[in-house]
Amino acid sequence: MPALVSTELPFRYPAVLYARKAQGNVTLRLFVDSAGRVVMDSTRVEEPSGYPSLDSAAMVGASDLRFAPAKLHGEPLPTSILFPVYFRHPEARPLPGDTILTTPTVGAQRRRASITP
């Protein structure tokens, strides 16, 4: 499994949806090549958020993600992964299932979208 090495997440909350306090989850299917780069031609929205603008923001941000590639017997290996992106407004009510985002699991916390509109 590839490991996320990006220190800053590249996802930007669409300003109109941020102003409305709209929230959602987008699950992307990413193809990560043997160098750890996301291949955008093979990236798609696996589970949409219900807001096309959030889905688009997740797709745009995905191109800037960097990974340590998966390895098999020590050799880098291209692979496909599911990558969740959580768009949360700090003043909005939690969505069902949001308790997972407050646990100390690094993966869930690191994939939250920037709240910069």
* pLDDT tens-digit map of 45-101: 999 999 999 999 999 999 999 999 999 999 999 999 999 999 999 998 888 878 655
pLDDT for position 110? 40
pLDDT for position 107? 40
**Three-class DSSP labels, 30-55:** EEECCCCEECHHHCEEEECCCCHHHH
| pLDDT tens, position by position, 1-43 | 899 998 889 999 999 999 999 999 999 999 999 999 999 999 9
